[in-house]
Amino acid sequence: MKSVEICAGAGGQALGLAIAGFHHVALVENDKNACETLRYNRPEWNVLEQNLEDFKGEPYKGVELLAGGVPCQPFSNAGLQLGSEDERDLIPEALRLVAEIKPKAVMLENVKGLLDKKFEDYRQYILWQLEQLGYIGEWRLINSSDYGVPQTRPRSILIVMKPEIFKHFQWPENVGDQSSTVGETLVDLMGANGWKQAKEWAVKANGIAPTIVGGSKKHGGADLGPTGAKKRWVVLGVDGKGIANEAPDQDFEGMPRLTNNMVARIQGFPDSWRFAGKKTPAYRQIGNAFPPPVAQALGVQIKNAILKAEQLKKSKRKVLFKHDQQTKTFRVRVGT
């Protein structure tokens, strides 16, 4: 199944969808470092380094899926929540591409804030616009920890499909309490330089992480988020005021900081995934990513719905043979 990925970032969503069985025919991203990340990790992907406003969807008409994580800053509780009045709101561009590409399904991911009551009219407007284009679907709030990611990370997900496909769609079932703790997830990385207290630290870091916050180019640096988030990290034995260059050394004393590799693992990236750029640009890519395991779980369900609809369509056009006793021949008709 073919897909187009917009606002691809460092590839968290694209990776998860690829594992689910989607072949990306185009990935659109305007950040140079993120594009380098995508090209380095998946040189076979067609990465288009350009603004979404300049991307034309007609060459990709008819792909199975249009997916992306449009900028979250217009809806984030950490910002001004200007919504559609924010110049960074790219949902109108996503709607334009739906009209140009006419995919079988669409998945857009954003922050929890998009589901706030103040954006209810905007959400209904988006659904109405998509309905005019022949799609039905719904918004839903999901927690990444329900899909094996060791952090809360609530996200708003919009999934719409052609009506004959959406009736077969089911949201993925969560895995309950199967997510590892921060300590279980990072103990080997914390002990990579021989830190004597790594195992003791891991036992105390016995909860899942708060939401990783990547910040934006205008605001936020390489740290683990606002004051409230930093306090929750302290409970887990982590200093969230910055990002370390490497794991604690053998005789380290005090509260360790996470490295980018540690943050990436908490986000659900495989250890083999490399991020381009210096520490802060790399951290922003990681912190703003959609966890690959969540994208995979959603992608599998989207793919299954499309397959079921296609199988049903084929069965309705099944060729039936009827034997004519008089002429000793078979007559063919199409039907159920």
Q: Decide if 282 is inside a domain.
A: yes
Residue 278 and residue 299 share a domain: no
Residue 334, classified by CB atoms within 10 Å of its CB into exposed (0-12), middle (13-18) or buried (19+), is exposed
Q: Domain of 310: which CATH number? A: 3.40.50.150
7 catalytic per annotation: no
Q: How many domains does the chain have?
A: 2
Residue 252 and residue 228 share a domain: yes
Residue 306 and residue 273 share a domain: no
Q: Decide if 327 is inside a domain.
A: no
SS3 for 95?
Answer: helix
Residue 123 and residue 269 share a domain: no
User: What is the pLDDT averaged over residues 46-72?
Assistant: 92
Distance CA 134, CA 130 (A): 6
Residue 319: pLDDT band by 50, 70, 90 thresholds?
low
Residue 296 and residue 217 share a domain: no
Who wins on pLDDT, 222 or 79?
222
| Beta bridge partners of residue 193, listed in sequence order | none
Residue 109 and residue 54 share a domain: yes
User: What is the pLDDT averaged over residues 269-295?
Assistant: 95
Residue 226: pLDDT band by 50, 70, 90 thresholds?
confident
Looking at residue 216, its pLDDT comes to 65
Within 10 A of 125 (CB to CB), how many other CB atoms are there? 14
Q: Decide if 118 is inside a domain.
A: yes
Distance of CA 16 to the CA centre of its chain: 7
Q: Decide if 321 is inside a domain.
A: no
Distance CA 180, CA 292 (A): 16
Q: Decide if 334 is inside a domain.
A: no
Distance CA 296, CA 3 (A): 14
Residue 303 and residue 279 share a domain: no
Looking at residue 330, its pLDDT comes to 52
Residue 299 and residue 189 share a domain: no
Residue 295 and residue 166 share a domain: yes
Looking at residue 85, its pLDDT comes to 43
User: What is the pLDDT averaged over residues 5-20?
Assistant: 97
User: What is the pLDDT averaged over residues 292-301?
Assistant: 97
Q: Is the pLDDT score of 284 beyond 80?
A: yes
Residue 216 and residue 108 share a domain: no
Within 10 A of 51 (CB to CB), how many other CB atoms are there? 11
Q: Which domain holds residue 220?
A: 182-287
User: What is the pLDDT averaged over residues 203-210?
Assistant: 95
Residue 140 and residue 8 share a domain: yes
Distance CA 49, CA 55 (A): 10
Looking at residue 118, its pLDDT comes to 78
pLDDT digits (tens, 9 = 90+) for 74-98: 444 444 343 344 454 688 899 999 9
Biggest CA–CA distance in the chain, Å, is: 95
Pick from 138, 52, 149, 134: nearest CA to 96:
52
In this prediction the pTM is 0.88
Q: Decide if 158 is inside a domain.
A: yes
By the 8 A CB rule, do 99 and 129 touch? no
Q: Decide if 202 is inside a domain.
A: yes
Distance CA 64, CA 57 (A): 13
Q: Considering the candidates 6, 8, 72, 229, report the single residue annotated as catalytic.
A: 72
Vertex 137: Cα angle to 301 and 212 (nearest 5): 65
Distance CA 175, CA 122 (A): 32
Computed over every residue of the chain, the mean pLDDT equals 88
Q: pLDDT exceeding 90 applies to what percent of the chain?
A: 72
Residue 216 and residue 154 share a domain: no
User: What is the pLDDT averaged over residues 325-334?
Assistant: 54
User: What is the pLDDT averaged over residues 214-227?
Assistant: 73
Q: Is the pLDDT score of 295 beyond 50?
A: yes
Q: Is the pLDDT score of 325 beyond 80?
A: no
The owner of tokens 């659900």 is: 268
Looking at residue 89, its pLDDT comes to 67
Q: Is the pLDDT score of 22 beyond 60?
A: yes
User: What is the pLDDT averaged over residues 266-286?
Assistant: 96
